[in-house]
Amino acid sequence: MLKILTVCLGNICRSPIAEEVLRQKCIDQGLEVVVDSAGTANYHVGSPPDKRMIQTASKFGFDIANLRARQFGPEDFDDFDFIFTMDESNKSNVLRLAKNDKHRSKVFGFQEFAGVAEPNFVPDPYYGDAKDFEETFRIVEQSAHRIAIQLKNWKP
């Protein structure tokens, strides 16, 4: 059973959609997984995802309305096998809490692990409009598919 955590800043836009889409893509590949998400910040702890991301998800057949935001913590390094960060800022915030090389070795950029160079981060749609949310969704969906295939063939 692979345990995967997706991480962004607020845990209300990018990482919840990445959590749900990656869960589905892993199931599609026949992988047994637990997928969760967290934010490096505590601004939105306990809140559902941003309404605009709930709507975008729903438009493409994904339901994220019941997810609730939580903050990333040092215990997550022991609880998860893979930690996928949405951008470089999320990654450095996560790595700052790592205590050893085993912790550090679990952390990858979402785009990096997917092997997608352009864009090399998942754009934050929070200050954007519906078009930005849809663009982020499309990037996440394409990369999640690639990540699920990478995980299926993963050899440490």
Q: Which residues bind ligand 4NP (CB under 6 A)?
A: 8-14, 39, 43, 124, 126
Output the six-digit token pair for 86: 């949405």
- Is 18:138 a contact under the CB 8 Å cutoff? no
Which one of 36, 50, 87, 124 is the catalytic residue? 124
Q: Are strands 82-85 and 2-8 parallel, antiparallel or unpaired?
A: parallel
Helix (H, G, I), strand (E, B) or coil at 113: helix
Q: Tell me the closest approach of the beta carbon of residue 52 to ligand 4NP, in angstroms.
A: 11
- CB closer to ligand 4NP out of 80 and 125: 125
Task: State yes or no: is 124 an active-site residue.
Answer: yes
Task: State yes or no: is 8 an active-site residue.
Answer: yes
Q: Tell me the closest approach of the beta carbon of residue 40 to ligand 4NP, in angstroms.
A: 8
The torsion defined by the Cα of 99, 104, 105 and 109, in degrees rounded to 10, comes to: 160
- Is 53:64 a contact under the CB 8 Å cutoff? yes
- CB closer to ligand 4NP out of 70 and 146: 70
> What is the spatial distance between Cα 45 and Cα 57, in angstroms, rounded to a whole number?
20
Question: For 12, phi and psi rounded to 5 degrees?
Answer: -125, -15
Which one of 13, 14, 52, 87 is the catalytic residue? 14
Which one of 8, 26, 50, 76 is the catalytic residue? 8
Q: Tell me the closest approach of the beta carbon of residue 1 to ligand 4NP, in angstroms.
A: 26
- CB closer to ligand 4NP out of 29 and 108: 108
Q: Tell me the closest approach of the beta carbon of residue 14 to ligand 4NP, in angstroms.
A: 3
**Residue 12 corresponds to which amino acid?**
I
Helix (H, G, I), strand (E, B) or coil at 20: helix
- CB closer to ligand 4NP out of 43 and 154: 43
Q: Mind telling me the catalytic residues?
A: 8, 14, 124
